[in-house]
Structure 1
Amino acid sequence: MYIIAVDDERPSLNVLTGAIREGMPDCSLSAFSNPLEALYHAQNSKVDVAFLDIRMGDMDGVSLAEELKNLHPKINIIFVTGYTDYTLDALNLRASGYVCKPVSAEAVKKELKELRHIPESENNKPVRIQTFGNFEIFMHDTPVVFHRNKAKEVLAYLVDRRGATVTKKELATVLWEEREYNRNTQIYLQILISEMIRALNEAGAGDIIRRQHNSLSVIPDSVECDYYNFIKGDPHTIESFHDEYMVNYSWAEMTAGTLSRQKDGRSTQEKQ
């Protein structure tokens, strides 16, 4: 379980993180005294649960919760407070729960047992992406359906970039090498992006994409992917690669070549 804890008062943050570690010792915990740093972390990492102090200086907990929910729609928000003046705003956000200061391990355990959204097991991710051979994406082993092939290609390129931020202009260049990046191209690209997001949302996989003002990226930790497992060095996945990677798309040939060389290099080392 991936948890973040945010409190701009360092002593309170230390008590909170201590309670979380005692209550959920196997979790992956990141602590922040600066809400903006927590938000940046969430833009680039998987977050299942956020313990947020409601009253903070630069950004209060309710505002931070709104931003986190935009990034991770199924995130569980647990407010940490000794105050009641934000209760209505917090209820409107459909928070998973509340703990009162000073936070105890027992209170943490209780809230984590009653989460609104149950985190998927790290070894049982519902979204599976296949890149060896043809590109496909599955939700609980059911293929995600895209009404436009180019919308599916947008997702494929994001997967290829492994979480790196991709601008809309870069996407347009990949999709249409010779096409001018004018107003018409921008409008059509936005239609494709909207179609991609719609297809993912309908399948229940919308939270694998991180959206920013003029760019997109996939969240690698949110999916099971043969390409990513290859990069991690999984022997079974490496053995299953037969020089075919996203054969639907010509731009994928460079990655295919890189994977082939890496596999050949591993085979050579094993023989020596």
Structure 2
Amino acid sequence: MERILIFSQQKLLITQISDAISKLEPESELLCFTDPIDSLSFTAESPSLSGAVIDIDSDACSSLRFLKVFHTLDSSLPVIFLSKSGKYAVESFQYGAVDYLNSPFSMQRLREALDKLKEKHTTKNIRRVYIKTFGSFEIFVGDTPISWKNSKTKELLAFLIDSRGAEVSSDAIKQTLWPDVDEKKASSNYHTTLHNLRKKLASNGLEHLLLGSRGSQRVDTSIFDCDLYDFERCAEDGSPAACRQAFSLYKGRYLENNAYPWSHFTKLRIDIQFEQLCHNV
């Protein structure tokens, strides 16, 4: 069942939108909000939303304030924007828009917009790559976790995720993952582990996740979501809704169940950020 959030500060428009969608999608659950804080709080706490319809003429959307925060909470959520004035028509596509409806809208145009929303949500669920770092390190393709036979292969990916897309030299990787092994053995271990990682990613359709050359490696952060990155972005945002979202992402300490010595400093920094969040939520 589709779960669609509807936001407008006009109760009459909320009724018109919800009635129209109910006729086209009678099985959908419609979650209607006129208060911007309530809608943001609900979005932060409800990861199962299928999409949203937002009245961009609402006062809360002035200067794109509401849209910026809403997009921070779930940057991959497909959104239909609605407007009488036509404002922010171009800018809206920076914030997850799959369609932009002029009000009043026809049922045919709404049908087209809902089809786009559904297609985007379905594609997102099928190919969504999500990397979890709080508690333990796991990588999901859709809802399926990748299994790992070799712990060092998994650790290499975790180390590159920790580097947040920055290039890491081969020497730095060898020194970090095999600190007590001589150079020749460390090089052999590194090349074998890198080969196994590429093979594992390719078998799961993720061959483009890892980028690099013989001298360095990095991950392409544009093709996956990660709780660490989302946590840090929300913590930096500092708004009440973003702080609540960051708080909800904290499912245990960073890499708590993985004995990776190199993760110590990130763990300490995240712990400090989490303590600060506890005072703001």
What TM-score comes out, normalization by structure 2 length? Answer: 0.50
Amino acid paired to 2:255? M
User: Is 1:267 aligned to residue 278 of structure 2?
Assistant: yes
1:139-159: CA deviation from partner (whole Å, max 9, x where unpaired): 122122333110110000000
Matches within 5 A, 1:11-160: 26=93, 126-160=128-162
1:44-102: CA deviation from partner (whole Å, max 9, x where unpaired): xxxxxxxxxxxxxxxxxxxxxxxxxxxxxxxxxxxxxxxxxxxxxxxxxxxxxxxxxxx
Amino acid paired to 1:252? S
Spell out structure 1 runs of 4+ moving beyond 6 A. Answer: 120-124
Q: If each structure's helix is expressed as a fraction of its own residues, which one has the higher value?
A: 2
- Alignment partners' CA distance in 2, 1:121 and 1:188: 37
Q: Is the 8 A contact 1:209 1:217 kept in 2?
A: yes
Amino acid paired to 1:26? F
- Alignment partners' CA distance in 2, 1:138 and 1:218: 15
Identity of aligned residues (%): 25
Deviation of the 1:122 alpha carbon: 7.1
- Alignment partners' CA distance in 2, 1:232 and 1:146: 29
- Alignment partners' CA distance in 2, 1:144 and 1:136: 7
Query: 1:188 aligns to what SS in structure 2?
Result: helix
- Alignment partners' CA distance in 2, 1:240 and 1:154: 23
Matches within 5 A, 1:92-241: 126-180=128-182, 182-233=183-234, 234=242, 235-241=244-250
Q: Is the 8 A contact 1:128 1:139 kept in 2?
A: yes
Q: Which structure 2 segments of 5+ residues have no match?
A: 1-88, 96-119, 235-241
- Alignment partners' CA distance in 2, 1:194 and 1:264: 39
Amino acid paired to 1:264? E
Amino acid paired to 1:263? F
- Alignment partners' CA distance in 1, 2:264 and 2:165: 19
Q: Which shifted more, 137-146 or 214-223?
A: 137-146
Deviation of the 1:135 alpha carbon: 0.5
Amino acid paired to 1:226? D
User: Is 1:252 aligned to residue 252 of structure 2?
Assistant: no
What TM-score comes out, normalization by structure 1 length? Answer: 0.51
Query: 1:206 aligns to what SS in structure 2?
Result: coil
Query: 1:150 aligns to what SS in structure 2?
Result: helix
Structure 1 residues 123 and 26, CA gap change in structure 2 (3 angstroms):
farther
Amino acid paired to 1:236? Q
- Alignment partners' CA distance in 2, 1:193 and 1:159: 14
- Alignment partners' CA distance in 2, 1:145 and 1:202: 11
Q: Is the 8 A contact 2:227 2:249 kept in 1?
A: no
Q: Is the 8 A contact 2:232 2:246 kept in 1?
A: no
Query: 1:179 aligns to what SS in structure 2?
Result: coil
Match of 2:50 in 1: none
Q: Is the 8 A contact 1:127 1:139 kept in 2?
A: yes
Match of 1:100 in 2: none
Amino acid paired to 2:271? S
Amino acid paired to 2:156? V
Query: 1:216 aligns to what SS in structure 2?
Result: strand
Q: Which structure 1 segments of 5+ residues have no match?
A: 1-21, 29-117
Give RMSD over aligned pairs: 2.9
Q: Is the 8 A contact 1:146 1:196 kept in 2?
A: no
Amino acid paired to 2:198? I
- Alignment partners' CA distance in 1, 2:143 and 2:251: 22
- Alignment partners' CA distance in 2, 1:262 and 1:163: 21
